[in-house]
Amino acid sequence: MKIVGFPVDVSRSQDSRILRGQRIRQSLIQTTLDLIQAGDVEPSPGVIASIAGVPGPVLFQHFPQLPDLYEAAFELSVSRAFDPDRPVNRTVPLAKRTALLVSDRAQTFEQWLPVWHFAERVRGAAPAVSHGIAHLRRMLRERVAIWFAVELDALEPTAREPVLDSLDVAFGFERWMNMRDRLRLSPMNASRTWRFEAESIVRRAFTTVSGHSGAAA
């Protein structure tokens, strides 16, 4: 087991100094994440150290570069919010699966919105966070492929990727962020609107492509 943000596996160590260092490190990461979730898109070292209850130099002993701490906080947030191994019941009808995915992502994305704002703010100064965003996008795309595997597997190989591209956009984080940040919809109204749009996109994507495949046959 590797502790998030810790360079080596120290989970079974009995050395009091290592354990204390681990606790301080975890406290700094959690404090950073708490500040991010409270709306601070770029927490300063002084504020983080003060709230964590450690001297400023101690923070830099554990994280010589502030982007390293930002990366650890981002990784911790992703590990808590997104489970790449969560099972999907593929026997559920398409319409219900669509509604379930919208509901699941609306709840997750709403909780994760402050972290996204933070990641967008610091990604230039923290390349690891930028890489983390790219990895998260890939993971979300893979999850969409799992949710609609039955329908996607039934398509011609040449049609599968374009349809998956469309679904990836339809269920992507930007969709939620657009409704919440730009359109200023409440979480309830955004979720309702998203479900209507998603059901339409899913229905059109699979019906249109299947129809073309049948015509070609």
Separation between Cα atoms, residue 104 and residue 180, nearest integer Å? 16
Q: How far is CA 112 from CA 88, 105, 131, in A?
A: 21, 10, 17
Separation between Cα atoms, residue 49 and residue 31, nearest integer Å? 8
Mean pLDDT (the chain) is: 88
Model pLDDT, residue 18: 76
Q: Contact, 129 vs 123, CB < 8 A?
A: yes
pLDDT over 70 (residue 7): no
The domain segmentation of the chain, as residue ranges, is 16-76, 84-216
Higher-confidence residue of 106 and 4: namely 106
Q: Dihedral of CA 104/3/64/38: which sign?
A: positive
* Cα atoms found within 13 Å of the Cα of residue 173, Cβ hemisphere only: 22
Higher-confidence residue of 9 and 36: namely 36
pLDDT over 90 (residue 214): no
Q: Contact, 109 vs 191, CB < 8 A?
A: no
The terminus-to-terminus CA distance of the chain in angstroms comes to 52
Sequence-ordered list of residues with C-beta below 8 angstroms from that of 150, at least 6 positions apart, any chain: 90, 94
Backbone angles phi, psi at 165, to 5 degrees: -60, -45
Model pLDDT, residue 5: 47
Model pLDDT, residue 27: 96
Report the share of the chain in percent with pLDDT over 90.
Answer: 79
Question: 54: buried, middle or exposed (CB in 10 Å: 19+, 13-18, 0-12)?
Answer: middle
Q: Contact, 94 vs 206, CB < 8 A?
A: yes
- Reported as a single tens digit per residue, the pLDDT across 145-198 is 999 999 999 999 999 999 999 999 999 999 999 999 999 999 999 999 999 999
Separation between Cα atoms, residue 217 and residue 211, nearest integer Å? 10
Model pLDDT, residue 84: 86
Model pLDDT, residue 13: 54
Other Cβ atoms within 10 Å of 96 Cβ, number: 10
Model pLDDT, residue 209: 53
| pLDDT average, residue stretch 136-151 | 95
49, two tokens: 């150290």
